[in-house]
Structure 1
Amino acid sequence: MELLGAATVVLLVCVACLLSIAAWKGRSGKGKMPPGPAPLPILGNVLQVKPKDLAKTLQKLSEEYGPVFTVHLGSDPVVVLYGHDVVKEALIDRADEFAARGHMPLGDRANNGLGIIFSNNEEWLQVRRFALTTLRNFGMGKRSIEERIHEETEHLLEEINKTKGAPFDPTFKLSCAISNIICSIVFGRRYDYKDKKFLALMNNMNNIFEMMNSHWGQEKDNPNSSFHMKNLITSTFDLFIAGTETTSTTVRYGLLLLLKYPKIQEKVQEEIDRVVGRSRKPCVADRPQMPYTDAVVHEIQRFISLIPLSVPRAVTKDLRFREYVIPKGTTIYPVLTSVLHDSKEFPNPHEFNPGHFLNENGTFRKSEFFVPFSAGKRICPGEGLARMEIFLLVAIILQNFTLKPVVDTQELSITPTLSGTGNVPPVYQLCAIPR
């Protein structure tokens, strides 16, 4: 009886798999959904898609199925866009059709469809416009923001000086510095790195709501308004999270790469000394005269590909894309790594080489393949602030310190700790020697 029962289970599983594969074949192909590996019932493509190394998995699948293909994450189909041309076609050339935010369980639970990052439809457009206008009013893209960054770097340099050349993990200090820049914009003040409230804020972002001392809307009598308190708080939370973690992680990863390649660090310092000197801090206005430093900052962002898959999109209607039909609401993964690591645009893309952004005469070379902030209508609203912060922090730190690794550079790993959605640098320590 036990053998009979086991055989029955095996038979049912086989039948379910065959039915699933038959259904999949009927849904994919020209004039239908893009092709992809056959999914298992409920489990989807768990055998082909490795969550801990999702970007590399998708690269291999693109080699087999082409630049537009379908994978099943569980029972849900996801269309993957792989390569510069197809990503550009979707996010820029057909921006409106790919402007919706794709399904992401973590974001749905945390934000309930509110805020900027995970919201959709007219509410998203209104809140995004409001956020951009408010940030501009607060000085984003203007000298006043640069002054806030300069003010915070003074405190960061003090904290680094306290190490007196001893090894330390830069994670906490960089996170505090970047968080304080956002605090100065959103709350109108910065916090001491040992301040209890600030430490609570760093450990639990929900505490930012308790510190808000002003109301952002007068529209409580309008039931259809996007500007109700819960949405505005969630939008502030989005700006704070996005403006802290991504930038501080990028700078932290960048310092690791400069430890790994000390000759690149030396060339940046030589340019800083030649263009800026030591009597004042580097400014955004110096950037055109600092092509090598600019190239290094761009190469850091290109090489690490911080958000390799971007935040998922969705199509707003049934649409024909190339030779396929994608149903309304289908989640879309535009793989940013496939653009940032394109070997035709960036020779030897897996090598850290600032020459990727330099012309033969040493001038800075722009590239439309530089998409670390995504592209189209869902491009990061804080791109301008982040680019300014990364450039200034890297330049100011190297103006004042030479960074030394604790271990031999050959032993220093620059391989990211991979997750499904982000590349995070391995934990490391460094010594900052005053110049």
Structure 2
Amino acid sequence: MDLFTILTLSLVLLLTICIFLSWSKQHGNQSLPPGPTPIPVLGTPKYMDLSASTKNFPKLSQKYGSVFTIWKMSEPVIVLCGYETVKEALVNNAEQFSERPIIPVMDLSNEGYGFNGRRWRPLRRFTMTSLRNFGMGKMTMEKRVLTESKYLIQAVSETGGEPFNPTIFLAMAAGNIIISVLFGEHFDYQDKQLEELVLSSSRHVKNIFFSPLSMLYNIVPVLLRFSFIRQKVLKEKQFLQNFLMKYIKHHKETLKPESPRDFIDVYLLKIKEVEHEIDPDFCDTSLSIMVISLLIAGVDTTASTLKFSLVLMAHYPDVQAKVQQEIDKTTNSLRPPEIMDKPQLPYTNAVIHEIQRVLDLSPAALFHAVTEDIKFRGYTIPKGTTVIPFLSSVLSDPSEWETPEVFNPGHFLDEEGQFRVRSAFMPFSAGKRVCLGENLARVELFLLFSALLQKFTFTLPPGTERQDSKYLNLNKNKILASGQICAVPRSLSK
């Protein structure tokens, strides 16, 4: 038998063994939730494409129920649909569903630190405490946002009522707010450094979470061993790190332990406190990773939500007029709306919440994993199994929302027109892994949205037709990418 024949037979034997082992793993555990039949070795690649999750998961849920299994090659992935199911997992069984699976691209970017590695508990606990001390959700944070709203209003005013894409202005505003907390800086909107920073943050988010290539790398992580691929994945992270290093260096040189100025200062003090430990959680590397994580979390989602808010108001002028009327009545047009005004602005608050519900910015929450074998809804989910809470199914659950497919601020108003809290409102996820920046995002959305509507009426560019909820739902990504509006000063539009 010649060498070629031996190699061919060996390869065939190896492939046969791989296929058999994969088939055995995929079909050997009968206690998993049902789901589409996987292909040996490949799994169910069609359903692992999260960009199509809003189309695929509802169909799978109708067929298999609120808990079903898809496959990442030979590994099961459990998808949770509907408010009751997601709540039971993330809230009622919060600890058991609090782990994160290994996500290769994210793991590469975070270098083992960040909120998704094994060190997440001490890092998250310290970060929450530190941000709270610097005003997250308190009066000092409100002052930061109100101050930034003046710069944002000025930037929008300079568009002169001409069509413009508000994304960059909104990203700069959100960026300046989180930057002021992280390293005490404020940039002018004309400063190219700020523009480069927020654009790089946005690209980094897309590279890590949403690009087709990152999905491929997560499924076939061996590709990340190639240096040119690693460089491509980490390009924006490297830019952000280089940008931040000068501020971290300056903070080290000017640090005064008795009077920390911002997040970087308190983190440097924590590093000194634990420097005697072997492999400490707090070090220069984790500081850089944490600042980048907070920066990208604080810019992209808030800017995207505000962008969609303004475009939506241009499509719904009656809703916009009612919000403006409520704001004018409460403030007498003499001052910007403040957090204390929320009880007097129930309709405005309802509109902001309904915009978030309709936008559904993160259809599938960042993956979870179970910390132990758990019985859940009649099935057994093995320890370490990846879990996807499908938040879209919560925000559009017909058993929780009266008109789930329609933009309807009434979802958040009671019979007397007062704001009502809805437990199925989970745009920030829920449980132990709820978005760390939720409080900041809520303050920013309320204050910036109401400040902009107090000063401007947002209209569609000439020749653009108003669209209904169905169109807006189907074209959210297009709107976020390129939607233009006009900002007409209220004094001219009245």
TM-score (norm 1): 0.90
Partner of 2:237: none
> Helix, strand or coil: the match of 1:102?
coil
In structure 2, relative to structure 1, the CA distance for the partners of 1:426 and 1:417 (3 Å cut) is farther
Superposition map of 1:337-352 within 5 A = 337-352=392-407
Of Structure 1 and Structure 2, which has the larger fraction of its residues in helix?
Answer: 2
Tell me the matched-pair count: 417
- Rounded Cα–Cα distance in structure 2 between residues aligned with 1:345 and 1:253: 23
Query: How much has 1:327 moved relative to structure 2?
Result: 1.4
List aligned pairs for 1:315-354, cutoff 5 A. Answer: 315-354=370-409
Q: Kindly tell me: are residues 222 and 16 of structure 1, through their superposed partners in 2, closer, same or farther at Cα, counting changes over 3 Å?
A: closer
Shift of 1:373: 0.7
Shift in Å at residue 54 of structure 1?
1.0
Question: Residues 424, 233 of structure 1: CA spacing in aligned structure 2 closer, same or farther, 3 A cutoff?
Answer: farther
Q: Which residue of 2 aligns with 1:214?
A: 251
Please tell me the residue identity of whatever aligns with 2:482. Answer: V
**Which residue pairs with 2:40 in the alignment?**
41
Within 2, Cα distance between the matches of 1:426 and 1:199?
A: 16
CA distance in 2, matches of 1:142, 1:125: 23
The aligned counterpart of 2:27 is 25
Q: Which amino acid aligns with 1:310?
A: A
Q: Indicate the residue corresponding to 1:382 in structure 2.
A: 437
Residue of structure 2 in register with 1:55 after alignment: 54
CA contact (8 A) 2:370 2:387 kept: yes
Partners of 2:391 and 2:479 in 1: how far apart?
Answer: 16
**Pairwise CA distance, 1:424:** 7.4
1:34 is displaced (CA, Å) by 1.3
SS of 1:350's equivalent?
coil
Partner of 2:117: 119
What is aligned with 2:262?
A: none
Residue in 2 aligned with 1:252? 307
Contact preservation (8 Å) 1:295, 1:355:
yes
Residue 48 of structure 1 deviates from its aligned partner by 4.9
Change (3 A) 1:424 1:111: farther
**Counterpart for residue 6 of structure 1:** none
> What are the superposed Cα offsets for residues 172-225 of structure 1, whole Å, 9 maximum, x if unpaired?
010001000011111112101122332332233332333223251203221142
Match of 1:303 among 358, 362, 377: 358
Summarize the Cα distance change of 1:411–1:191 in structure 2 as closer, same or farther, 3 Å threshold.
same
Instruction: String of CA shifts for 1:118-177, please: whole Å, max 9, x gaps.
Output: 223xx2111111111111111112111111111111111111111110110001010001
Equivalent of 1:139 in 135, 139, 153: 135
Matched to 1:257, the amino acid is L
Deviation at 1:371, TM superposition (A): 0.8
Deviation at 1:16, TM superposition (A): 8.5
Aligned: 1:87 with 2:86 = yes
Change (3 A) 1:323 1:396: same
For 1:184, what is the secondary structure of its paired residue? helix
Amino acid at match of 1:144: T
RMSD: 2.4
Q: 1:309 to 1:265 in 2, by over 3 A?
A: same
2:86 aligned partner, one-letter code: V
Evaluate the alpha carbon distance shift between residue 260 and residue 75 of structure 1 in structure 2; reply closer, same or farther with a 3 A threshold.
farther
Secondary structure at 1:362 match in 2:
coil
Contact 1:309 1:337 in 2 (8 A): yes
Change (3 A) 1:380 1:328: same
Q: Kindly indicate whether the alpha-carbon contact (under 8 Å) linking 1:20 and 1:39 is maintained by their aligned counterparts in 2.
A: no
In structure 1, distance between residues paired with 2:47 and 2:171: 36
The CA deviation at 1:338 is 1.1
* Secondary structure of residue in 2 paired with 1:368: coil
Letter in 2 for 1:277: N
Preserved contact between residue 417 and residue 426 of structure 1 (Cα < 8 Å): no
Given candidates 187, 209, 232, the residue that maps to 1:191 is 187
Report the Cα offset of residue 24 of structure 1.
3.0
Task: State the alpha-carbon separation in 2 of the partners of residues 234 and 146 from structure 1.
Answer: 26
Indicate whether 1:110 and 2:109 are aligned: yes
* Identical pairs, percent: 42
* Gapped regions of structure 1 (runs ≥ 5): 1-8
Measured after TM superposition, the shift of residue 417 of structure 1 is 6.0
Distance change >3 Å, CA 203–CA 365, structure 1 → 2: closer
Residue aligned with 2:334, SS? coil
Is 2:359–2:476's contact at 8 Å kept on the other side of the alignment? no
Q: CA deviation at 1:42?
A: 2.8
- Report Cα offsets for 1:253-285 as digits up to 9, x if no partner: 111111111111111001001111211010000
**One-letter amino acid of the counterpart of residue 117, structure 2:** S
More deviation, 66-75/272-281: 66-75
Residue 27 of structure 1 deviates from its aligned partner by 1.6
Partner Cα distance (2:425, 2:276) in 1: 44
Q: For 1:57 and 1:86, how far apart are their aligned partners in 2?
A: 18
1:396 Cα deviation after fit: 0.3
Q: Is the 8 Å Cα contact of residues 26 and 76 (structure 2) preserved in structure 1?
A: no
Deviation at 1:416, TM superposition (A): 5.5
The yes-or-no answer on 1:159 pairing with 2:217 is no
For 1:24, the aligned partner's letter is Q
Cα gap change, 1:256 to 1:42, in 2 (>3 Å)? farther
For residues 48 and 184 of structure 2, the distance between their equivalents in structure 1, rounded to whole angstroms, comes to 45
Q: Name the CA distance, whole Å, in 2 between partners of 1:15 and 1:140.
A: 55
Q: Which letter maps to 1:214?
A: H
Displacement, 1:112?
Answer: 2.4
Give how far 1:83 is off.
1.1
| Aligned amino acid, residue 325 of structure 1 | T
Q: Give secondary structure in 2 for the equivalent of 1:286.
A: helix
Q: 1:74: Cα distance to partner?
A: 3.2
Whole-Å separation in 1 of the counterparts to 2:67 and 2:473: 28
AA of the residue aligned to 1:393: L
Deviations 1:54-97 (A, max 9, x none): 12211111111111111013333211111111111111111111
Deviates more, 1:250-259 or 1:199-208: 199-208
